[in-house]
Structure 1
Amino acid sequence: MAGQRKQILSPRAGKSYPIGATVLPDGVNFSVYSRSATGMDLLLFDDVDAATPARTIALDPARNRTYSYWHLFVPGLRPGQIYGYRAHGPYEPLLGMRFDAQKVLLDPYGRGVAVPAGYSRKAASEPGDNTAQAMKSVVVDTSRYDWEGDMPLRRPFDQTIIYEMHVRGFTRHESSGAKFPGTYAAIREKIPYLLELGVNAVELMPIQEFDEHENEFVNPFTGRQLMNYWGYSTVGFFAPKA
């Protein structure tokens, strides 16, 4: 992003739709919903482990807000840009509002999530800045994905044989023989195996970004923290995770 800074000195108002980070030919449009926020900052990072953003852009409530949508267009940004938000507003827990402008927030509609080496779930709830320890969103360009004319098969349910699987767990072990074990690509590698079993439908366990570190228990033999493997605690519904 260092080479892009001259290009982002004059961000524009942007549009409220679509929500999330949308890649356009000359930059990226950002839009996030918050009905109760009194202010919103867009944070741009050079690195996921950065303790401070490379640039902070304060959104103008008069220029960068349409109803409850905060939006901004930043020229020159490209896919792969790491970003987050700081939301300003009231701290009134009894009314369901816990604004804390010291905390870095993920884009709820973000298509990618980056996790720093020093990530701390605890830092998100304790007083103080958590920039270096916070998950951050990543700009992803989905327009280039080729769906290859994919359409629903409309196969009758009584003729459907479903194989439920965990994306990572299905091929993680070396015995799978997959070239890219534990990934979506590895599932594609194993399609012939599934067909041989007679399977004609796959049901994936949660594939949205989740917090692997939410488990507070440790391995009694090694003392290492146990990881959340199943993924039933989503932090980003539009960001796939394996």
Structure 2
Amino acid sequence: MMELAHGNEVYTWPGEAFPLGASVKQNGVNFSLYSKDATRVTLHLFASADAASPQHSFELNPSIHKRGHYWFIFVGNIGHGQVYGFQVDGPWLPEKGLRFDKDKVLIDPYSQAICFGRNYSRERAIGPGRNMDASMKSIVVDQSDFDWQDVMAPRHSLNDTVIYEMHVGGFTKHPSSGVDKGKRGTFAGIIDKIPYLKEMGVTAVELMPVQQFDVNDAPQGRQNYWGYSPINFFAVHAGYSVENDPLAAINEFKTLVRELHRADIEVILDVVFNHTAEGDENGPTFCFKGLQNGAYYITDKETGNYANYSGCGNTCNANHSVLRRMIIDALHFWVTEMHVDGFRFDLASVLARDSNGHPMKEPPLLWTIDTDPILCSTKIIAEAWDAAGLYQVGSFIGDRWNEWNGKYRDDIRAFWRGDSGTVSRFASRVLGSPDI
């Protein structure tokens, strides 16, 4: 049933399937979500990240709010900053790639901001039971208010590129960085160190993962420092903002990109599309598992257990049409909205595997990235191996792909520290690794 407008109260209309995610319109927000096998979808609107229950809930009527495999609804009189989440019901058939859990609150896979309430619990997202009061939640984002000041991207040639690999949290964390205490370990802190980067001759910074991750995704008593375990592919990690706020993080990141560009330094992102923070069959349900598990992960067709070519519990089904589209959409987002200049793909060889885990001779995703017109000016760099023995340095697909040479790194390091029997390997690496 359709809810109609009444003063400034929220109201709903049928909505549209495109674009995916939460799209801010003139009088409200359109929500669109992919789930082929869901039997029931409910959208919840929350007053804050800490809210234990929703202010408004809308159960989507399939005859009004669904076309094909997409569920959608327009909600009027809401906008930027609105906190929301979904509950999705459907069959529990792991052997068929289906792991619906009607009790779990799910974030939007196209979220551009994610919040964690004070009661957030990773453990509550594992196993049976409701977790609304302890769930992470999505936030509606309007990206239209940032001033780029007409600063242009440098576009250095690869031959002239000097890349500095950088952990955003660690780069300025220590007092010896000289950065003010309030900005240490943040995007803003890096801006203060731009003169240092220029002095070193750096032409590009490669930021280790800045996509939102769960710091609690770690052994008990520890925290996830590195961030190689994304929750989704669009949101900026809130912990790298001065305010530790998911919305503030967006503009802080954009400001960093703008000021690095002003200094003639490009920004390359280390992106993780090979696995997510949901882990294996014993891990939490945050998003993908509870929407259409088999569309997002490679699973065993008999047991339903997760393939683990990433070494991190699960493996993204990157050449499934739905996830392939999402990865391309994410890359487009980081280029068009966030103005980044390139990407280094973590365990990129995973992205060459099909839905059964077999390496493909002509992987659609990698060729799409290679030939995409929006990405044509970006630098695309593959970590050309995975955790299951697939090693493609020297043979990675495509016309534009560049490869990190792990053998160069290892052999140069071994020679430098004086290991025996390394002289010939050192010479081969300096000559450009003709053996591979």
Distance 1:9 1:152 in 2: 41
Higher strand share: 1
Does the CA-based 8 Å contact 1:8-1:74 persist in structure 2? no
**Pairing partner for 1:239 from 221, 231, 235:** 235
- Equivalent residue number for residue 83 of structure 1: 84
Q: Unmatched 5+ residue regions in structure 2?
A: 241-436
Does the CA-based 8 Å contact 2:33-2:71 persist in structure 1? yes
Q: Secondary structure at the match of 2:164?
A: strand
Change beyond 3 A, Cα 1:126–1:5? farther
Deviations 1:27-76 (A, max 9, x none): 11111111111121111111212221111111111111121111111111
Does the CA-based 8 Å contact 1:91-1:99 persist in structure 2? yes
Distance 2:146 2:224 in 1: 30
1:165-204, aligned counterparts within 5 Å?
165-179=166-180, 180-204=183-207
Deviations 1:94-114 (A, max 9, x none): 111111111000110000010
Distance 2:6 2:88 in 1: 23
- Equivalent residue number for residue 47 of structure 2: 46
Does the CA-based 8 Å contact 2:10-2:78 persist in structure 1? no
Q: CA deviation at 1:19?
A: 0.9
Report the identity percentage: 46
Distance 1:86 1:119 in 2: 17
Q: Secondary structure at the match of 1:208?
A: coil
- Equivalent residue number for residue 144 of structure 1: 145
- Equivalent residue number for residue 20 of structure 1: 21
- Equivalent residue number for residue 111 of structure 2: 110
- Equivalent residue number for residue 387 of structure 2: none
Q: Unmatched 5+ residue regions in structure 1?
A: 218-224
Q: Secondary structure at the match of 2:232?
A: strand
Q: CA deviation at 1:236?
A: 1.5
Change beyond 3 A, Cα 1:122–1:5? farther
Higher helix share: 2
Structure number with greater Rg is 2
Count how many residue pairs are aligned between Structure 1 and Structure 2. 232
Name the TM-score, length of structure 2 as normaliser.
0.51
- Equivalent residue number for residue 34 of structure 1: 35
Q: Secondary structure at the match of 1:240?
A: coil
- Equivalent residue number for residue 69 of structure 2: 68
- Equivalent residue number for residue 126 of structure 1: 127
**Pairing partner for 1:206 from 204, 209, 214:** 209
Using CA pairs under 8 Å that are at least 6 residues apart, name the structure with larger relative contact order, 1 or 2. Answer: 1
Q: Secondary structure at the match of 1:186?
A: helix
CA RMSD of aligned residues (A): 1.9
Does the CA-based 8 Å contact 1:45-1:82 persist in structure 2? yes
Name the TM-score, length of structure 1 as normaliser.
0.89
Change beyond 3 A, Cα 1:16–1:145? farther
